[in-house]
Structure 1
Amino acid sequence: MHIHNVTCEKVEFAGLPLAVYREIAAHLRQVEGIEVEIITQSSSSFDYNQSQVECLQLLLAPDLPVENSKLVKQILAYYQNRYA
């Protein structure tokens, strides 16, 4: 799916492992009108405590239904509460 005139949002969860980012991305990709990219860490120095992932980049369709937008927020809130 390729979406034109998208809204781009970055979502960061400090210190989460790659597997959890992949799980979040998989859940978000089930929402119609959403594309998700996992952006890898761009830091040049290695820190074992730092996540391999810098952030998730969400691409939201311009005509994203309100229900879908709410669902995205619920998914993100779930993971934020679980891993905060």
Structure 2
Amino acid sequence: MSSVQTIPETLAWAKVPLSVYREVAAHLRQVPGVEVELLPQTSPQFDYTLGQIGGLRIAAKNLAGPEDEARVLEILNYYGDRFGAFEIL
């Protein structure tokens, strides 16, 4: 189990389905001051084993305080525990 200590600007999991990315984005958007963008897959060739999403872009510059930052990190660590470490892009 690894945990992220700072909020990454962009991240991606290998071989995680679109539905998981959407769920992560929905949870992050519940934190006031957080905006999330789903990034398109950039591979020039179709590969069924690749995820349908290239990653997430997280803008968390307008957080109200350390509690909100802690909540974002808690969400990212929760999904990291379930789907493995993500790559910071």
Band the TM-score falls in, shorter-chain normalisation: 0.7 to 0.9
How far apart, in 1, do the equivalents of 2:8 and 2:81 lie?
Answer: 23
How many residue pairs get aligned? The number is 78
Query: 1:33: which partner in 2?
Result: 33
From the superposition, tell whether residues 63 and 17 of structure 1 become closer, same or farther in structure 2 (CA, over 3 Å). Answer: closer
Q: State the superposition RMSD in angstroms.
A: 1.7
Q: Percent identity?
A: 42
Per the alignment, do residues 80 and 40 of structure 1 end up closer, same or farther by CA in structure 2, a change over 3 Å counting? same
Aligned to 2:68: 68
Range 21-30 or range 40-49, more displaced:
40-49
Deviations 1:39-74 (A, max 9, x none): 010111011100011110001125541111111111
Q: How far apart in 2 are the matches of 1:67 and 1:77? A: 15
Aligned residue in 2 for 1:19: 19
Higher relative contact order (CA 8 A, sep 6+): 2
Check conservation: 2:28, 2:75, Cα contact below 8 A. Answer: yes
Report the TM-score, using the length of structure 2 for normalisation: 0.80
Shift of 1:8: 7.2
Moved over 3 A (4+): none
